[in-house]
Every structure is written in C-alpha cells, then in structure tokens.
A = this chain, B = another copy of it.
C-alpha cells in the first residue's frame, strides 16, 4: 500500500479530500484536508435528479485541483467516491466520463449501504467509544449503522439530507411541518433494531453543531467530543426556529447557513427516534472508511488488538532511535504497583500512565529545553484517534508535570489532586531511573518510604531535587530494610 493516500468524497454539499500519511504498517495520520463547496446537486432535486451544468463544472474544477494537491503531497493512490447526489442522477455517467477525461479521476459511485459501511468502519476503528448508532447526515441522504461488540451489525441509508430538505421545504418558503412529515415518513423504513443510548455523529452538518458546543465548553478537539443528546435536541430546536441572522450569531459559518436547519431537523429526529442519551462526535467518516478498507484489507476491517494508529504514528514520527520510552514505561508501571499501598488508584489508570510514560520523551526531537512541555504538546495533539478528550488531557497533564513542576489542581472528575500528584511523581521518578538494563529494585517500607536500590549517583542527585514535593519519602539503598522487607514482600508485584 502506498505511503501517502488521498481519498476524495463527492457529497451533495461539498467535495472533500483527505490525504493520509502512513508512517508504518498500520500507523498513520491525517496530512491534509481540502474542501470545496461545489454543491454538485444544486438544482437537481427540482429537476428530476439531473445534475446541472454549472455545478458539474465547479466539481470538475475542484477535482482537478484536488488531484494536484494530492500529487504535490506525494500521493500515489487516489480514491474517489461519490454518494447520494450522483446515485440519484440519471446523467451521472456523463459526469463520470468527464471527470475521468478532464481531471483524470475515476469516481466510484457507492450505494447507501456502502456509504453507511464506510462511516461505520471509520468510527469502529478510530473512535474511543465505538458502540452505538452512527448517524451521518449528508446533503442528499443520511446513513446509519449499528455498532455492537466490535462489529457492524446493521446499516441503512435514508433519502433525507440537509440540502434536499432545504431545496424541497425551505427555499423560498418555510415549510417546517412539511419537512417534519417528510422525515417522519423516511424514518418508518428503519428496522426496530436501531435503538441505542449512544449516537456517533458523522458528517459536516453534525460537526458544525458540535463545533459550536465544543467552543462553548472549551474543548480543543471535535473528534471524540461527548455531549448529552438533550443538549443537541434543544440546540436543534433553536436552530430550526431561528432566522439566518440568528444562525450567524450562534456561530455558524457562512457556507452552512442555508443548510443547517435541514441538517439539524434530521439529526434531532434521528436522536429522538433512536432514544439516544449521549452523542459522540466523530471527526472521521466516509473518507477514513475508504482509507481503512484499503489499509485493513485482509484483516477483517480491524486493527490488531490493542493497536492504536495515532500512538504508533507518534512513535514512528518523533521517537528517537535511542529513546528510553519503553524503559520509562516499564519503571512507571513497576512504581505504580510498588506504591499501590499509598494510593487508591484504579488499575485502569495504568493505561494513561503507560501511554504518557512511553511518550514522555518525544519532545527530545525538539531539544532538551522544556522537553516535558514539547512531549505533552506532541502527545496531546497527536493522539488523534481512539482516545477520549479526558484521556488526551490526562496524558498531556502527566507528561507536562513529569519534571520539577507540580500540578496545582486536578481537572479530572475521578482523580483527586493527591492521586494526580502520585501519578506525576511516578512518571518523574521513572524518567530519572529508566536505563536500558532493568536492575533497579523498589521496596516500600512500613513508614511508607520508597526505597530505591541500584540507582546511579546522577539519578540520586536528581531525585533529591524533585522529591521534596512528593507525598512519600524516598530512601536510597537497603540499609534499614531487612526487617521491613519481609513485611512488604507480598505486596510488591513486579
């Protein structure tokens, strides 16, 4: 498979391209995204689905530029799929031929089932929460898939989309009731199995809603955003009743103003119909699905167990040849266990601790000054897929404070400041103590002092500097330990 892969997706509202860079067999990241609001379906819903000349020309122009960009980024493989707008067009074959001839792009029209599959495949592999119903509100159609137990259980495509609703019910009129009953009729197609407390929201319309909510809440990333469904329902109601200038004040982009009411109406209807309690926003969709189908071909559409493509790709890109990341992780997990009598931390916290410790030296690539800060920056921004915002924040915080600094507050619901401090202390110790050979011993004595046996002179020096702020004492060597050893022996797990 090529190292740089571009995927173009021609929707009714816009054509988009994602360019992925593979950094190893399964490790990859998103190198480039382009969007052009070509509105290929403009005027087609009133013309028996026939694509109109001007929108077609816009789209061809965009395709030409997309392929230029893709090639300039080094892409050797370009996939191009088209959905609802072309599915429904009697003259789509003409357009496909022109695209091939004028832009050199081979467009594949995918049916609704396949479209639902690609969105679902992306969520299944790249969202931290991958049980629930995917909802992809498009311009001409909307796709849903039920994800359960790591598999795509059922898929469906509905002939309702934001642009379609706009053109049929809102252009030159304001027929909300008509739109509602149109949507309601489509919903009747849905099999009863489509019911879940989680919805995974895909596509530009839902992202536009989530973007505003994320901003309100000070959350840095859309992908993985978790918000109560009721919040969306209230928000969608406000949108449907609002005028265009209201929408602008709410924070919607210019090019979303005319279609967001249709999109919000569809999304709210689906949330209610499915009985959703919580919405997880997905930054990934059809394009990532197409890429993953190719990447995971012959692997049953899933990454190997325990594999995360962003974590891997961060290491691929930034970890130095001589990094002690693995050794730091090893010592951090050992210390977590040895210190367990001191803390009430759930063993689930070993996961973020392991990630943070493995990535804690990434920043070396930028230099040794403020290395912790650099590492936390790279980790926070690079752990794109498969982590919740909370996890990304915790990893960031652990790395950032894995030096002389001490966190002053805990932003984490299930973690007191004391527990957070234990974790950052563990990581700070592990960074100092890690060496290629594993020759250190740790023991906790009856006074809750941690005895470190076998550390270097330099390490001792550094630990003495940082351990003043620790909530536990540090002793070097074993001198007074023989008596204690028997007592704590069985609590220590290596």
- Interface of A with B (CB < 8 Å)? 4, 19, 29-34, 36-37, 58, 61-62, 64-66, 68-69, 72-74, 221, 317, 320-322, 324, 364-370, 374, 377-378, 381-382, 384, 435-436, 456-459, 461
Contact = CB atoms under 8 A, between A and B. Distances in A.
Contact of A377 (B320, B364, B365, B377): B377
Given A322-B73, A381-B370, A381-B374, A364 B31 contact: yes
A382 B366 contact: yes
A322 B68 CA distance: 12
Contacts of A317: 365-366
Contacts of A74: 320-322
Nearest to A458: B65
Contact of A36 (B4, B382, B458): B458
B36 A461 contact: yes
Given A72-B436, A317-B366, A369-B381, 9 more contacts: A30-B368, A30-B369, A31-B367, A62-B458, A64-B457, A72-B322, A74-B322, A370-B381, A377-B377
Top-4 shortest CB links A-B: A65-B458, A61-B457, A74-B322, A65-B456
Nearest to A37: B461
9 contacts: A19-B368, A30-B367, A32-B364, A64-B456, A64-B457, A65-B457, A68-B456, A73-B322, A317-B366
A381 B377 CA distance: 12
A72 B324 contact: yes
Given A74-B322, A457-B65, A461-B36, A378 B366 contact: yes
A69 B369 contact: no
Contacts of A320: 31, 74
A238 to B, nearest CB: 26
A366 B379 CA distance: 10
Nearest to A434: B72
A480 B130 CA distance: 56
B61 A31 contact: no
Contacts of A36: 457-458, 461
Contacts of A374: 381
Contact of A381 (B62, B324, B366, B458): B366
A486 B162 CA distance: 50
Contacts of A29: 366-367
A335 B61 CA distance: 26
A29 B366 CA distance: 8
Nearest to A456: B65
Contacts of A58: 457
A467 to B, nearest CB: 13
Contacts of A366: 29, 317, 378, 381-382
A457 B367 contact: no
B458 A368 contact: no
Contacts of A73: 322
Contacts of A64: 456-457
A384 to B, nearest CB: 6
A321 B23 CA distance: 13
B367 A458 contact: no
A321 B4 CA distance: 11
Contacts of A321: 74
Contacts of A322: 4, 72-74
A32 B381 contact: no
Nearest to A221: B369
Nearest to A255: B465
A19 B65 CA distance: 46
Given A74-B322, A322-B73, A457-B62, A368 B68 contact: no
B435 A68 contact: yes
Contacts of A458: 34, 36, 62, 65-66, 69
Contacts of A377: 377
